[in-house]
Amino acid sequence: MDNFTAIVLAAGKGERMKSSLPKVLHTLEDKPLLWHVLTQLKQVKQIQQILVVTGYQAAKVEAYVKENAGAQKSRKIEFCRQKKLLGTGDAVRCALSKVKYDNVLVLCGDAPLITADTLQSFLVFHQQQASFCSLISASMPADNDLGKIIRDPLGNVQAIREKVDLDTLVTHRRDSLKEVNSGIYAFDKDKLQQNLAKIQKNPKKDEYFLTDLIEIFYDQAANIAAYALKDSNEIYGINTKRDLINAAKIMRQRTIYSLIEQGVTIIDPDSTYIASGTQIGQNTVIFPFTFIEKNVIIGSSCSLGPFLHLREGTILEDNSQLGNFVEVVRSTIGKDVRAKHHAYIGDTTIAGSVNVGAGTIIANYDGKHKNKTVIEKGAFIGSNSVLIAPVRIGANAITGAGSVVTKNVPARTTVVGVPAKVFIKKRKKI
Residue 20: other Cβ atoms inside 10 A: 8
How many other CB atoms sit within 10 Å of the CB of residue 156?
14
- Give the burial class of 123: count Cβ atoms within 10 A of its Cβ; 0-12 exposed, 13-18 middle, 19 or more buried: buried
Residue 23 and residue 21: Cα distance in Å, rounded? 6
Beta strand residue intervals within 91-200, DSSP E? 103-108, 133-139, 148-151, 157-161, 179-188
Read out DSSP for 307-324?
A: SEEE-TT-EE-TT-EEEE
C-alpha to C-alpha distance for 367 and 369, rounded to whole angstroms:
6
Active site residue 309: no
Helix, strand, or coil (residue 150): strand
Report the distance separating Cα 324 and Cα 217, nearest Å: 61
Q: Which residues are within 8 A (CB) of 218 and not within 5 positions of it... i.e. 6 or more apart?
A: 152, 156, 157, 158, 159, 224
Between vectors from CA 120 to CA 118 and to CA 124, what angle results, nearest 5°? 115
50: β partners: 6, 77
What sign does the CA torsion over 252, 258, 261, 263 have? negative
Residue 301 CB partners (closer than 8 Å, separation 6+): 281, 282, 283, 284, 318, 319
Please tell me which residue in 26, 36, 126, 341 is annotated as part of the active site.
341
The vertex-163 CA angle with 159 and 167, nearest 5°, equals 85
Q: Would you please indicate which residues are annotated as catalytic (active-site) residues?
A: 341
